[in-house]
Amino acid sequence: MENFRNIGVMGREGNGVVETLRRLLVLLEGRNVTTVLDESLSPLLPDHGLRVCPRKMIGEICDLIIVVGGDGSLLGAARSLTRQSAPVLGVNRGRLGFLTDISPGEIESQIGAVLDGHYVTEKRFLLDVEVMRDGARIGRGDALNDVVLNSGTSGHMMEFELFVDGEFVYRQRSDGLIVSTPTGSTAYSLSAGGPIMHPRLDAIVIVPMFPHTLSSRPIVIGGNSEVKMVVCASNVVNPPVTCDGQVKITTQPGDAIYVRKKPHKLKLIHPLGHSFYASCRDKLGWGGHMPIEPSDD
């Protein structure tokens, strides 16, 4: 197991975040490690006395990044750390917390155990999106959860064509389309009726949003596939493309949106005993009881 010596702390302002940050910094101060603070957090902690670093550089000088906040905070951190190899550990100050799986009350025990070398690592792939207009790229973004093309206006459908690996799939009228990673399958994709995918799957799911035909269903494709969406000329709106609900690119009729797997993966760290299925039971309200074994009598 890697011995973490330089630890970056990231996050964003929110309910209880400052209190949790202070508790985390007290723990790190007693562990003989060098702590580097994301510059966006510095104003929340006056007189902290720590080294401050821009978000785009923090992954280059640290060998572990701890993110305090909800899954949205970790999504933002993941997009800024895609080209750096530092693994990421999440402390949950949000609601669901599929990615940030350490609760504030477990900081001393769980993060202490991670620093002692007791953890597991898993890799999650991200998506790269490019928007092309007349052969020129007019926008791009990264997504750990999903890339979404939608009409951008309530009550208005949009029309687009879908291609996978250059092969025409369908022309559709709907509120839009979600292209999701396995990580994002428990997020917006799930709300739209998409399947839950185990994080280790090398697959992408394409989920239509309120399609005009009842026969349209989610499609699961290979993780190395290229997805292309073309905004049809019949549209009277300029549909936006969003990455993890945060990065927004406005398209216009005739634009092509390409979605591909990124070559760089995010390394997530979990405490020992982490279970994807336990997270589903907890976060999604699945029945938590173990099945009763049949009797031998």
Tens digit of pLDDT for each residue in 89-118? 999 987 777 888 899 899 999 999 999 999
State yes or no: is 71 an active-site residue.
Answer: yes
pLDDT tens figures, 183-201: 999 999 999 999 999 999 9
- Homologous superfamily of 127-263: Probable inorganic polyphosphate/atp-NAD kinase; domain 2 (2.60.200.30)
Q: For the domain 6-117, what is the CATH code?
A: 3.40.50.10330
For residue 16, pLDDT over 90 is answered with no
pLDDT at 287: 81
Angle in degrees, CA 186, 183, 83, rounded to 5: 150
**Residue spans in the chain of domains classed CATH 2.60.200.30:** 127-263
pLDDT at 289: 59
Q: What is the mean pLDDT of residues 139-162?
A: 92
Q: What is the pTM of this model?
A: 0.91
Which position among 38, 47, 63, 71 bears the catalytic label?
Answer: 71
pLDDT on residue 262:
95
Q: Is the pLDDT of residue 294 over 70?
A: no
Outline which parts of the chain fall under CATH 3.40.50.10330: 6-117
